[in-house]
C-alpha cells in the first residue's frame, strides 16, 4: 500500500511535468519562488539519493546535488537542460521502481543506510519503509506547488 | 509509522497556519489561486469527513462541505471567520487523533465506510489505512502551497 501510494504520486507528478513545455518549466510556481525546472532537478536529486539510502545502489546523478539540493534556485547559473533533466527524472524513478518491486515485504522493515546497525536496534522505525513514506510526502508537497502552474481555463 | 507520518504532516502544517495572522490568511498562495483561509476550510472539511469515512463518528462540521469542498474559493461570499475555522481545524484533528490512537493495529486493514462488505472482499486494499495514506498526501500537497506564503527574509 505504501509503495502504491508512492507510485500514484509519481504518476500524478509526471502528468504535470509532461504537460509543461520546456519554456513553461522556466516559470516560477509563484512570484519569487522556485521555477518548475528547479523542482524537477530537486526531485530528481532527492529520488536519486534514495537509491543508496534504501541500500539499492549508488546514486546515478550525484552532480545534481550541489545544484538542486545544496543551492537554492537561481544560485547556480549553468544547470542541465530541461531535456536532460526529464530523461534523468524518468531514469531515476524507473530504477527505483525496479528495486521497490523486487524488495521482499519484510525487508522494508530493515534499516536504511543512514543509521548504523547498533542504533537501529534502539530506533527500529528508522527503516526503509519510513524513507519511502517521507519521500512520498516530500513529493506531494512539491506537486502541490507545481499544480499552481496548471493553466486556468 | 503511517499514523506518525500523518501526525508529523499535521504538526508541520499547524506551524504554517499558526504563523499566519488572520490578515495573512486572506492572501492567495499564488496570484489568482486559493487563499490560505480557503485551504484552512478545505483541509478542515476533508479531515472532518474522515471521521465517518474511517467509521469513527459523524462529521462534526458538515456545513463546511458546500463552501470548501463543493465550491471553489471565492464562489461563496459568506464564509466562517478565521477564528472559527482555526478552532474547528484543531477540534477535528484532535478528535481524529484520539480515534487514531485508540484503533487497534489490525483494524486499519478493515474496510472504510465508502465500500460495502461484499466489494471489500474483492478489493481489500480499500481499507482504513489507505484512507490515512491518501489524506496524508493530500495534506502535504496543500502544505507545499501554503509554504509559498512564508515570508522571504
Please say if the pLDDT value at position B6 is more than 80.
yes
pLDDT for B64 equals 98
- Please write down the long-range contacts of A57-65, taking CB distance under 8 Å and 24 or more positions apart: A57/A95, A57/A99, A60/A88, A60/A91, A60/A92, A60/A95, A61/A88, A61/A92, A64/A88
Q: What is the number of CB-based contacts under 8 A between chain A and chain B?
A: 70
pLDDT tens-place string over residues B100-145: 999 999 999 999 999 999 999 999 999 999 999 999 999 999 999 9
Please say if the pLDDT value at position B91 is more than 60.
yes
pLDDT for A152 equals 58
Please say if the pLDDT value at position B152 is more than 80.
no
Phi first, then psi, for residue A110 (nearest 5°) are: -95, 165
Please say if the pLDDT value at position B153 is more than 70.
no
User: What burial class does residue A65 get, using C-beta atoms within 10 Å of its C-beta: 0-12 exposed, 13-18 middle, 19+ buried?
Assistant: middle
Q: Does B14 touch chain A (CB under 8 A)?
A: no
pLDDT for A26 equals 97
Residue A136 forms beta bridges with which residues? none
Q: What is the distance in angstroms between the Cα of B61 and the nearest Cα belonging to chain A?
A: 25
Distance CA B11, CA A143 (A): 20
Q: What is the 3-state secondary structure (H, E, C) of A75-100?
A: CCCCCCCHHHHHHHHHHHHHHHHHHH
In Å, what is the CA distance from B74 to each residue of A90, A129, A135, B26, B67? 38, 40, 33, 11, 9
Select from B135, B137, B143 the residue whose CB has the most chain A CBs within 10 Å, as the one to mutate to test that interface: B137
Q: What is the distance in angstroms between the Cα of A64 and the nearest Cα belonging to chain B?
A: 22
Q: Does A5 touch chain B (CB under 8 A)?
A: yes
Which of B2, B32, B145 lies nearest to residue A133, judging by beta carbons? B2
Secondary element (H or E) of residue B12: helix B2-19
pLDDT tens-place string over residues B47-80: 999 999 999 999 999 999 999 999 999 999 999 9
pLDDT for B29 equals 96
Q: In terms of CA atoms, which chain A residue is nearest residue B108?
A: A1
Please say if the pLDDT value at position B151 is more than 80.
no
Buried b (16+ CB within 10 A) or exposed e, B119-150: eeeeeeeebbbbbbbebbbbbbbbbbbbbbbe
Phi first, then psi, for residue A80 (nearest 5°) are: -60, 160
Give the percent of chain B with pLDDT over 70. 99
B145–A145: do the CB atoms touch at under 8 Å? yes
Q: What is the distance in angstroms between the Cα of B78 and the nearest Cα belonging to chain A?
A: 24
SS3 B35: strand
Q: In terms of CA atoms, which chain A residue is nearest residue B2?
A: A133
Verdict on whether the full-model pTM lies above 0.90? yes
Distance CA A150, CA B65 (A): 24
Q: Does B5 touch chain A (CB under 8 A)?
A: yes
Q: Residues of chain A whose pLDDT is less than 70?
A: 152-153
Average pLDDT over residues B12-29: 96
Amino acid at each position: 500500500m505504501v509503495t502504491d501510494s508512492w507510485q500514484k504520486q509519481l504518476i500524478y507528478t509526471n502528468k504535470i511535468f509532461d504537460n509543461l513545455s520546456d519554456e513553461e518549466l522556466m516559470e516560477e510556481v509563484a512570484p519569487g519562488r522556485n521555477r518548475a525546472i528547479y523542482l524537477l532537478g530537486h526531485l530528481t536529486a532527492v529520488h536519486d539519493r534514495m537509491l543508496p539510502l534504501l541500500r539499492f545502489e549508488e546514486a546515478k546523478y550525484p552532480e545534481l546535488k550541489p545544484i538542486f539540493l545544496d543551492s537554492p534556485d537561481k544560485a547556480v547559473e549553468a544547470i542541465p537542460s530541461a531535456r536532460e533533466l526529464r530523461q534523468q527524472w524518468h531514469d531515476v524513478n524507473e530504477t527505483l521502481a525496479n528495486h521497490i518491486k523486487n524488495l521482499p515485504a519484510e525487508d522494508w522493515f530493515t534499516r536504511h543506510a543512514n543509521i548504523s546497525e547498533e542504533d537501529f536496534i534502539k530506533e527500529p522505525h528508522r527503516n526503509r519503509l519510513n524513507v519511502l513514506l517521507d519521500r512520498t510526502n516530500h513529493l506531494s508537497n512539491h506537486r502541490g506547488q507545481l499544480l499552481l502552474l496548471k493553466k486556468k481555463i
